[in-house]
């Protein structure tokens, strides 16, 4: 518990998490307001549409997670941490836990804020959370952000430089997976198993929260069920974190 408290103080005593959280909320809220305000009888507002911009907020949260570890390498404070806690695995696991919890909270606020804004903008629309798919589409954003933050932190540990780690995380998340689909013949099959495409399956499911409307989030091509998709991405995050911790234990801080 002491390690968790120390990591919480280190993270929340700096400005970057607060600015990143505010940016994530403004981005998702702003895009949600824009999307939902354009809905009409042909393209009705749905629960799925309220989370149309969650990936923008997730990208910001991943930047936050990357900075949380690369900033320590940049200023050398990671050396102090490892001197105080010789068990590097425990120190980094505590940091990952705190970052994941912060990302979970930001993700949930972000998701329900977007949903709440949509209900205010379109009070006549059917935006009630009446099914499991509806709840996952909204409340599932938090766990998705938490796991994505762990992945981003792991990349930060491996790369150690803020600019390089952030560039790698954002390029992969925003572009690289989609570019795989351009590979002739096998691109679409590979894409089905890429981690963030699978994570998107957990959030969107098979599109049930869109109520059959075309006005909502693009669906994942993964063949897994939503809960298996979450387990798949969680395993990916844990393995990547384990690799990064093992690497950090072997090299100089």
Sequence length of the chain is 253
Q: CB atoms < 10 A from the CB of 141, how many?
A: 28
Please report the pLDDT score of residue 212 as a whole number: 58
Please report the pLDDT score of residue 97 as a whole number: 95
Phi, psi values for residue 57, rounded to 5° = -65, -40
Provide the sign of the torsion angle of the four alpha carbons 197, 201, 204, 208, taken in this order.
positive
pLDDT tens readout for residues 145-195:
999 999 999 999 999 999 999 999 999 999 999 999 999 989 999 999 999
Contact 155, 239 (CB under 8 A): no
Please report the pLDDT score of residue 80 as a whole number: 86
Residue 66: which domain range?
2-250
State how many domains the chain has: 1
The Cα 8–Cα 10 span in angstroms is: 5
Tell me the whole-structure pTM to 2 decimals: 0.93
Please report the pLDDT score of residue 44 as a whole number: 79
135: nearest Cα among 210, 194, 47: 47
Residue 110 vs residue 41, higher pLDDT: 110
Instruction: Label residue 83 by pLDDT band (50, 70, 90).
Output: confident
SS3 content of the chain, % helix, strand, coil (to 5): 75, 0, 25
pLDDT tens readout for residues 104-143:
999 999 999 999 999 999 888 888 898 899 999 999 999 9
pLDDT tens readout for residues 216-230:
677 888 999 999 999
pLDDT tens readout for residues 188-215:
999 999 999 999 999 998 888 776 555 5
Arithmetic mean of pLDDT, 79-95: 89
First to last CA, the chain: 24
């Amino acid at each position: 518990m002491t390690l968790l408290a120390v990591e919480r103080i280190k993270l929340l005593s700096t400005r970057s998490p607060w600015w990143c959280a505010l940016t994530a909320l403004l981005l998702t809220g702003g895009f949600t307001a824009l999307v939902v305000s354009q809905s009409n009888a042909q393209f009705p507002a749905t629960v799925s549409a309220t989370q149309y911009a969650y990936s923008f907020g997730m990208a910001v949260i991943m930047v936050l997670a990357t900075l949380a570890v690369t900033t320590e390498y940049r200023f050398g404070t990671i050396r102090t941490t490892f001197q105080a806690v010789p068990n590097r695995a425990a120190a980094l696991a505590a940091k990952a836990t705190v970052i994941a919890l912060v990302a979970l909270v930001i993700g949930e606020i972000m998701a329900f804020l977007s949903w709440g804004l949509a209900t205010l903008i379109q009070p006549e629309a059917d935006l009630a959370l009446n099914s499991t798919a509806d709840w996952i589409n909204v409340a599932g954003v938090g766990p998705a952000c938490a796991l994505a933050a762990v992945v981003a932190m792991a990349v930060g540990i491996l790369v150690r430089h803020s600019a390089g780690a952030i560039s790698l995380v954002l390029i992969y998340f925003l572009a690289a997976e989609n570019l795989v689909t351009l590979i002739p013949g096998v691109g679409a099959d590979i894409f089905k198993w890429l981690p963030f495409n699978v994570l998107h399956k957990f959030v969107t499911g098979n599109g049930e929260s869109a109520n059959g409307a075309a006005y909502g989030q693009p669906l994942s091509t993964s063949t897994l069920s939503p809960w298996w998709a979450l387990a798949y991405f969680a395993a990916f995050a844990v393995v990547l974190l384990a690799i990064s911790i093992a690497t950090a234990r072997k090299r100089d801080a």
